[in-house]
């Protein structure tokens, strides 16, 4: 079985997870309830795949740091303020978009053999 054939369902499932994270995010509150473990789990899975497949290049590393910084900002807003709902939400969306970009980049590298 080719690497593409094996990873294609993973990419589809990750896409579904992101779609559900964004869709339920806009429909439910509180802002920090069910989706808090989704983003780190998707991050760990990406790195766990990228490392042994030798696709953890400079773009992945730089985006990883941007993701981590946005998660620190989000964590600081969650633990530090009671009225930072909008800022907290923006920090979450920023981290989700960075992670989505990482997954898209990784998927395109694998599927297009770049």
pLDDT by residue (tens digit) across 56-105? 999 999 999 999 999 999 888 888 766 677 888 899 999 999 999 999 99
Q: Which residues contact 95 (CB under 8 A, 6 or more apart)?
A: 39, 67, 70, 71, 74
Residue 111 makes CB contacts below 8 A (sequence gap 6+) with 4, 7, 8, 11
78 and 32 Cβ atoms separated by less than 8 Å: yes
Q: Confirm if 46 and 103 have CB atoms less than 8 A apart.
A: yes
Among residues of the chain, what percentage have pLDDT more than 90? 54
Burial 65-76 (b: 16+ CB within 10 A, else e): ebbeebbebbee
pTM, rounded to two decimals? 0.82
How is residue 64 annotated by DSSP? H
φ/ψ region of 22 (left if φ > 0, alpha if ψ in -120 to 50, else beta) reads alpha
């Amino acid at each position: 079985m080719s690497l593409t054939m094996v990873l294609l369902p993973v990419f589809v499932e990750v896409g579904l997870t992101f779609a559900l994270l964004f869709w339920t995010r806009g429909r439910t509150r509180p802002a920090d309830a069910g989706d808090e473990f989704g983003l780190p789990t998707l991050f760990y899975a990406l790195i766990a795949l990228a490392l042994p497949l030798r696709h953890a290049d400079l773009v992945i590393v730089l985006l990883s740091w941007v993701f981590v910084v946005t998660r620190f900002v989000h964590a600081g807003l969650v633990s530090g303020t009671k009225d930072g709902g909008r800022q907290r939400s923006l920090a979450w969306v920023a981290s989700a978009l960075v992670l989505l970009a990482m997954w898209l980049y990784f998927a395109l590298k694998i599927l297009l053999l770049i």
